[in-house]
Amino acid sequence: MSSEKILKISVCLFILGFFCISASFAQQRWDWHISGGTIVDGTGKAAYRADILVRDDSIGYIGNVNADTIQSEHFVDATDKVVSPGFIDSHAHGVPLETPQFQNFLGMGVTSIVLGQDGSSPAVGELSSWFEEVEAVNPAVNIALLSGHGSIRSKVDIGKQKPTNKELQKMQKLLRSDLNAGAFGMSTGLEYVPGMYADEEELELLAEVVGNENGLIMSHMRSEDNSEIETSLDELAMQGEYTAVHASHLKVVYGKGIVRAEEILDYIEYFRSQGIHITADIYPYSASYTGIGIVFPDWAKTKAEWQNALEERPEVLRQFLKNKVAQRNGADAILFGSGEFSGLTLQEAAEQENQSAIDLLMKMGPQAASAAHFVMDQQLQDRLMLGEKIMVSSDGSPTMRHPRGYGSFAKMVRYYVNEKELLSLEEAIYKMSGLPAKTIGLEDRGLVQEGMKADLLIFEPTEIQDRATFEHPHKLAEGFDWIMINGTVVRKEGVFSEKRTGRVLLNGSNQ
CB of 462 to Zn ion, least distance (A): 33
Inter-residue contact 486 to 453 (CB < 8 Å): yes
Please identify, using beta-carbon distances, which residue of 144 and 476 lies nearer to Zn ion: 144
Inter-residue contact 84 to 50 (CB < 8 Å): no
CB of 496 to Zn ion, least distance (A): 29
CB of 120 to Zn ion, least distance (A): 9
- Annotate 350-370 with b (16+ C-beta within 10 A) or e (fewer): beeeeeebbebbbebbbbbbb
Inter-residue contact 104 to 398 (CB < 8 Å): yes
Please identify, using beta-carbon distances, which residue of 281 and 444 lies nearer to Zn ion: 281
Only one of the segments 23-31, 114-122, 207-215, 269-277 lies at the binding site for Zn ion (rule: CB under 5 A); that segment is 114-122
CA distance 53 to 446: 17
Only one of the segments 128-136, 216-224, 339-347, 474-482 lies at the binding site for Zn ion (rule: CB under 5 A); that segment is 216-224
Structure-derived torsion over alpha carbons of residues 413, 83, 63, 55, reported in degrees to the nearest 10: 140
Residue 31 lies near Zn ion (rule: CB under 5 A): no
CA distance 479 to 477: 7
Please identify, using beta-carbon distances, which residue of 220 and 260 lies nearer to Zn ion: 220
CB of 223 to Zn ion, least distance (A): 12
Please identify, using beta-carbon distances, which residue of 118 and 305 lies nearer to Zn ion: 118
Only one of the segments 155-163, 219-227, 292-300, 421-429 lies at the binding site for Zn ion (rule: CB under 5 A); that segment is 219-227
Please identify, using beta-carbon distances, which residue of 192 and 416 lies nearer to Zn ion: 192
Residue 220 lies near Zn ion (rule: CB under 5 A): yes
CB of 111 to Zn ion, least distance (A): 22
Residue 33 lies near Zn ion (rule: CB under 5 A): no
Please identify, using beta-carbon distances, which residue of 81 and 401 lies nearer to Zn ion: 401
Please identify, using beta-carbon distances, which residue of 195 and 255 lies nearer to Zn ion: 195
Please identify, using beta-carbon distances, which residue of 220 and 389 lies nearer to Zn ion: 220
Q: Cα-flanking dihedrals φ and ψ of residue 155, to 5°?
A: -65, -35
CB of 249 to Zn ion, least distance (A): 5
Binding Zn ion (rule: CB under 5 A), the pick from 118, 178, 455, 466 is 118
Among the listed residues 103, 86, 190, 50, the one whose alpha carbon sits nearest the alpha carbon of residue 505: 86
- Annotate 57-72 with b (16+ C-beta within 10 A) or e (fewer): bbbbbbeebeeeebeb
Number of residues forming the site for Zn ion (CB under 5 A): 2
Only one of the segments 21-29, 61-69, 117-125, 431-439 lies at the binding site for Zn ion (rule: CB under 5 A); that segment is 117-125
CB of 214 to Zn ion, least distance (A): 24
Only one of the segments 23-31, 215-223, 280-288, 492-500 lies at the binding site for Zn ion (rule: CB under 5 A); that segment is 215-223
Specify whether the backbone of 329 is left (phi greater than 0), alpha (psi in -120 to 50) or beta: left
How many of the other CB atoms lie within 10 Å of CB of 209?
21
In 228-311, the DSSP E strands lie at 244-247, 278-282, 288-291
The string of DSSP letters for 156-199 reads HT-TTSPPPHHHHHHHHHHHHHHHHHT--EEEEETTSTTGGG--
Residue 427's beta-bridge partner residues?
none
Please identify, using beta-carbon distances, which residue of 38 and 288 lies nearer to Zn ion: 288
CB of 195 to Zn ion, least distance (A): 10
Residue 402 lies near Zn ion (rule: CB under 5 A): no
Please give the helix or strand (H or E) that residue 485 lies within, else none. Answer: strand 482-485
Please identify, using beta-carbon distances, which residue of 216 and 360 lies nearer to Zn ion: 216
CB of 234 to Zn ion, least distance (A): 19
CA distance 88 to 5: 51
Only one of the segments 57-65, 218-226, 266-274, 348-356 lies at the binding site for Zn ion (rule: CB under 5 A); that segment is 218-226
Please identify, using beta-carbon distances, which residue of 91 and 491 lies nearer to Zn ion: 91
CB of 438 to Zn ion, least distance (A): 22
CA distance 105 to 432: 13
Among the listed residues 243, 241, 250, the one whose alpha carbon sits nearest the alpha carbon of residue 274: 241
Inter-residue contact 460 to 471 (CB < 8 Å): no
Only one of the segments 42-50, 220-228, 371-379, 406-414 lies at the binding site for Zn ion (rule: CB under 5 A); that segment is 220-228
The contact mask relative to Zn ion for 175-214 (x = CB under 5 A, - = no) is: ----------------------------------------
Does the bond joining 139 to the residue before it have cis omega, within 30 degrees of 0?
A: no
Say which amino acid occupies 98: E
CB of 192 to Zn ion, least distance (A): 8
Query: Any idea what DSSP says for residue 472?
Result: S
Q: Nearest residue to Zn ion, using CB?
A: 220
CB of 203 to Zn ion, least distance (A): 16
Only one of the segments 54-62, 92-100, 113-121, 258-266 lies at the binding site for Zn ion (rule: CB under 5 A); that segment is 113-121
CB of 248 to Zn ion, least distance (A): 5
Residue 51 lies near Zn ion (rule: CB under 5 A): no
Residue 224 lies near Zn ion (rule: CB under 5 A): no
208: Cβ–Cβ under 8 A, 6 or more apart, which residues?
242, 243
Structure-derived torsion over alpha carbons of residues 307, 312, 318, 319, reported in degrees to the nearest 10: -140
Please identify, using beta-carbon distances, which residue of 294 and 317 lies nearer to Zn ion: 294
Catalog residues that contact Zn ion under the rule CB under 5 A. Answer: 118, 220
